[in-house]
Amino acid sequence: MTEQIILSEIYRLPESMKQEVLHFIAFLKETRAAEKQQMEKPKSKRVFGRTKGKYTLAPDFDAPLDDFKDYM
Protein backbone atom coordinates (compact mmCIF):
# COMPACT_ATOMS: atom_id res chain seq x y z
CA MET A 1 0.00 0.00 0.00
CA THR A 2 2.73 2.47 0.97
CA GLU A 3 4.72 1.74 -2.17
CA GLN A 4 1.69 2.45 -4.34
CA ILE A 5 1.16 5.81 -2.65
CA ILE A 6 4.81 6.73 -3.03
CA LEU A 7 4.87 5.74 -6.70
CA SER A 8 1.68 7.64 -7.48
CA GLU A 9 3.12 10.75 -5.86
CA ILE A 10 6.39 10.38 -7.76
CA TYR A 11 4.54 10.02 -11.08
CA ARG A 12 2.86 13.38 -10.46
CA LEU A 13 6.15 15.21 -9.92
CA PRO A 14 7.93 17.17 -12.66
CA GLU A 15 11.11 15.59 -14.03
CA SER A 16 13.44 17.90 -12.08
CA MET A 17 11.84 16.90 -8.79
CA LYS A 18 12.03 13.23 -9.74
CA GLN A 19 15.79 13.70 -10.04
CA GLU A 20 15.86 15.18 -6.54
CA VAL A 21 13.94 12.19 -5.22
CA LEU A 22 16.45 9.88 -6.88
CA HIS A 23 19.35 11.77 -5.29
CA PHE A 24 17.63 11.60 -1.90
CA ILE A 25 17.17 7.84 -2.24
CA ALA A 26 20.89 7.47 -3.01
CA PHE A 27 21.68 9.62 0.03
CA LEU A 28 19.50 7.44 2.26
CA LYS A 29 21.21 4.28 0.99
CA GLU A 30 24.68 5.73 1.65
CA THR A 31 23.69 6.88 5.11
CA ARG A 32 22.25 3.48 5.97
CA ALA A 33 25.38 1.74 4.69
CA ALA A 34 27.59 4.03 6.78
CA GLU A 35 25.49 3.39 9.89
CA LYS A 36 25.60 -0.34 9.30
CA GLN A 37 29.37 -0.21 8.86
CA GLN A 38 29.72 1.71 12.14
CA MET A 39 27.67 -0.92 13.95
CA GLU A 40 29.78 -3.75 12.54
CA LYS A 41 33.12 -2.27 13.60
CA PRO A 42 34.79 -4.55 16.08
CA LYS A 43 35.14 -2.89 19.46
CA SER A 44 38.66 -2.57 20.78
CA LYS A 45 39.55 -5.16 23.34
CA ARG A 46 40.02 -4.04 26.90
CA VAL A 47 43.55 -4.19 28.17
CA PHE A 48 43.94 -5.23 31.79
CA GLY A 49 46.02 -2.76 33.80
CA ARG A 50 45.96 0.03 31.22
CA THR A 51 45.38 2.74 33.85
CA LYS A 52 47.70 1.32 36.48
CA GLY A 53 49.48 4.14 38.29
CA LYS A 54 47.23 6.87 36.88
CA TYR A 55 44.92 7.00 39.90
CA THR A 56 45.72 6.95 43.57
CA LEU A 57 43.39 6.65 46.54
CA ALA A 58 43.70 8.76 49.65
CA PRO A 59 45.25 6.91 52.60
CA ASP A 60 42.04 7.42 54.60
CA PHE A 61 39.76 6.22 51.80
CA ASP A 62 38.09 3.57 53.97
CA ALA A 63 37.83 5.77 57.06
CA PRO A 64 34.32 6.66 58.23
CA LEU A 65 33.03 10.04 57.13
CA ASP A 66 32.31 12.71 59.73
CA ASP A 67 28.91 13.35 58.15
CA PHE A 68 27.70 9.88 59.15
CA LYS A 69 28.83 9.87 62.81
CA ASP A 70 25.24 10.32 63.97
CA TYR A 71 24.22 7.12 62.24
CA MET A 72 26.96 4.89 63.63
Residue 58 inside a domain? The answer is: no
User: What is the rounded distance in angstroms from the CA atom of residue 59 to the CA atom of residue 67?
Assistant: 18
pLDDT of 53 > 80? The answer is yes
Task: Report the range of poorest mean pLDDT among 14-28, 36-50, 55-69.
Answer: 36-50
Stretch 10-39: mean pLDDT? 91
Expressed as residue numbers, the domain containing 36 is: 1-40
Residue 23 inside a domain? The answer is: yes
The confidence score (pLDDT) of residue 22 equals: 94
Sign of CA dihedral 40, 41, 47, 50: negative
pLDDT of 43 > 80? The answer is no
pLDDT of 19 > 90? The answer is yes
pTM, full prediction: 0.48
Residue 17 inside a domain? The answer is: yes
State the total domains in the chain.
1
